[in-house]
Structure 1
């Protein structure tokens, strides 16, 4: 057992898209955080420089109390860019205190709880008052101590709103990157999908197809070469096996035919010797069984080699099915038969071969069905063709046998005895005949009480 763990996400395209998106999102996230920190630091630095510049200006040297409101309005206008547009609060506050006693001027929204101790000129400190964070700077002009404050809570609110909008744009960008990564991963998978399509078209009946390396990307050149080399080896082995089975079956036909003829003549000359007649009859049955196996093997080898040619002749399947039902009444009269057929089933094919397929299905229903159980034959139109279902009452088929029912020489009875006649070639040959007619034979239903085989054949076009 391999020690390597399988990836949790099986889709290679999804893994590539997620990895690409993850890398892009990580880079964008780092840039976003770095940009946000840079903007916050630069904004605070600009705010401090503006405050220092105003504190160093000549305006605060005025002695007339009528000038201070104008200075207050001018300061709010200067710092308004740091406040949200929808905010109606005064962003800057101003207070001038005479060191000899008395307040020269104080902004109307100066928080009563905001206590600012006297500090050195130009010193900037952060204080809290009225539930708001303030950046306070001070300067002394003669006997007047001027204190300038800026509402940094509003500034941070505006900055956060900007960062949230920018973050939303980053999220949309990441989604767009994910979609583009998924699309590009799909484009990258197209050569693999094309190779898969070519490989799927290769069948045992036509193994001469090859994948052209010139049509694929350079990175897949070695994969294509290895695959074509594998096909060459498989084709040689397959053709060798087909030739062997075909040649062996063909060579066996003559001695089997001679042996059968000699046994028939010996049986006629046996006279009144019952023991000799029984022995010869048993040997003749085995030779006939061997002849049936040889003929089926020869037909299967031709099908494998693509040489099973079917002469397409117009025919009606209904008389064939009714004849088969009559034979079934004589062969197993204890089996109730349900027959549902349309008035006519025009098709094209070889009547003898199709009769062989249907006989195989019906004989299997008799051999493997429940004793005295029912058998049903139902035919109906299915799209552009006909579908014939042969069902029978059954004890079911074990799951491990279902996938191998059409394997050659495979029989579900594990002892492989001859309690049930057959060699395990009937269904395999029947499916090859159906495919040669452009149809299909499959196990359509298998329950503990019923088994249904379905034969589909193209209908004759009017």
Structure 2
């Protein structure tokens, strides 16, 4: 048995709702109509009983004249039957009440009663007339034939049953049509998703004709396509960048080997060529290690240690390492502040080293690189700022992309800087539950690392 479709489920629910609502409406209509007529009967019976009682009290004894007056009260009303009983003797009977209904009515103790007799239903009232004709016990019985009304209600119930069946089937059919029309945007979403491929990710579903309830779903789907499109573009660019970065050293080594094989050379020449190839291989190996590191970071496999670490000590060791390179470019590095964090010292040293390396490389000659560490609430921030080229605002978030360099002219002919350093730095910071940001304006560029502070109460 196949699964029931969403359209069928909603149509069945729609049909059940219509059926329940109509049934509730019919039951309510039947109940209130019966209640209305019962109250109307009670009112009419009370009025007639009071009229008969007044007639009896206006006469000193039950006479033919009294019976005529009671007939006058009863005759103009359809369906009434009346009997007057004095000391257990029936002195008046209208419509043969004494012969047909009176024995049944006498057996009921309540003032209001209902009896079925001879295929008819009667709604009646029993009224005692006190202190009349010498204190004799006088009882008035009035009955109203309501059989026609019972037949009316039975007919209404029968017609309602037919109407209910037809309405249920009709609502189910209309429900299928309306639901299919309402679910049309989902069909479009399904058709659009079936056309999505790696080479066709620019398809979007327009939201103008989509119902408001589906706007969020369509928006999320379009955003998902945008993210996939961006991811595939980055993946394609990443593959192209890898090929580009590896091609340069490979071509260099191939050229050197081909030149070396053109003629016999001295051992020293072969050693130089081998050393040169070895240097290129080391750079390629470092690039592969960096890419493996990023791949592990993407899959959450980079788990840093949680040893106590002083950001000032880590940064100072990095600054000391780059002092000579900074002196060559006539650049000073100033370090201020301190803060204790929990993290992997070697990873944090690598992250700061990548930033300081870039700062030394791109700082203006004669300028100063500022490294400032401070505590703010539950975090420690390290800001590394240098004066040099301004990174455009729209590119400040892209500096953390793999193989991305702001200065594209530096891409060609070198493997010294493959453009993975800032991506690795971001991965390290995020692995430590921190964040990194880049701000560049007016010739100053600042990279800020924010890491959770060490819990001093456990120190």
TM-score range, shorter chain: 0.3 to 0.5
TM-score when scaled to structure 2? 0.42
TM-score when scaled to structure 1? 0.42
